Amino acid sequence: MGEILKKNVVDLNCDLGESFGSYVKGLDEEVMKYITSANIACGFHAGDPMVMRKTVILAKKLNVRVGAHPGLPDLLGFGRRWIEVKPEEVKNYILYQIGALSAFVKAEGLELQHVKPHGALYNKAAVDIRIAEAIAEAIAEFNDKLILVGLANSKFIEAAEKYGIKIAREAFADRAYNIDGTLVPRSKAGAVITDPNKIIERAVMMITEGKVKSIEGKIVDLGEIDTLCVHGDTPGAVEIAKKLYNELPKHGIKIVAMSEKLL
């Protein structure tokens, strides 16, 4: 497969299994139909053993590849608040969570495909090489065939290289970008894009050209994109996931699990 063609292949990933006990979150059964990779919460910021089992079973049924979605130990803050943890702590928190999820994956006769850090851990790793390396090292220690999912054009890339693991470069079609390739924080106006047509347009540009228009209107080079993050927490988000799943192929884009693209 040549470089150009490869650019027209993408994975669609979504955060799932975020319910906890009697608390229900996300429209997992709906969105699971329109993705190729599921990032499953592992009990630290969301998820619990019953939810993890159920979500792995759902992914299996719909032929979606499974990954771990480890977070900081902060259910109250849903893993979105940074905690001053040391890299050594990050490494062991990640290992613990990958291991926990892998038990359910094993029990269902599947294989774990990837690891995508959640929330504050993801955002920190994108800019702090010590945290990115702690995550990459944890993956390498557990299974160096696993794919690390991280923000395109960020610290994730060099961390993955250092530990010899594959990286799936991620982009967010529904989030505004700064000129330096970082995401505009959700707290700022215009950070989240909701117009489905605009999202499709951005997704196509990201995947086929490796570029995005920044919030100020300048073109930002993201490099090749391997996976797009879609959301499944509102009916509107599921609609967008469905639209991406159905319309990207019309633009000559092939949707496959990241492990297939990164073969």
Alpha-carbon distance of 252 to 176, in angstroms, equals: 24
Please state the closest distance from residue 146 (CB atom) to its own copies, in A. 12
Calculate the alpha carbon distances from 34 to 113, 241, 245 in Å: 18, 6, 6
* CB 68 within 8 Å of CB 40: yes
Of residues 24 through 53, those in contact with its own copies by CB under 8 A are 25, 43, 48-50, 52-53
The residue among 13 and 102 lying less far from its own copies, judged by its C-beta, is 102
Closest-CA residue to 93 (of 50, 49, 137) = 137
Segment contacting its own copies (CB under 8 A): 19-27, 160-168, 171-179, 209-217? 19-27
Nearest approach in angstroms of CB 77 to its own copies is 6
Task: For residue 57, state whether it binds its own copies (rule: CB under 8 A).
Answer: no
The residue among 47 and 210 lying less far from its own copies, judged by its C-beta, is 47
Query: Which of 2, 3, 63, 84 contacts its own copies by CB under 8 A?
Result: 84
Helix (H, G, I), strand (E, B) or coil at 207: helix
122 forms part of the interface with its own copies (CB under 8 A)? no
Q: Could you tell me the CA-to-CA distances from 120 to 11, 92, 98, 114 in Å, in that order?
A: 23, 16, 17, 19
The CA distance from 108 to 168, in Å, is: 25
Residues that bind its own copies (CB under 8 A): 20-23, 25, 43, 48-50, 52-53, 73-78, 80-85, 88-89, 92-93, 95-104, 106-107, 120, 138, 141-143
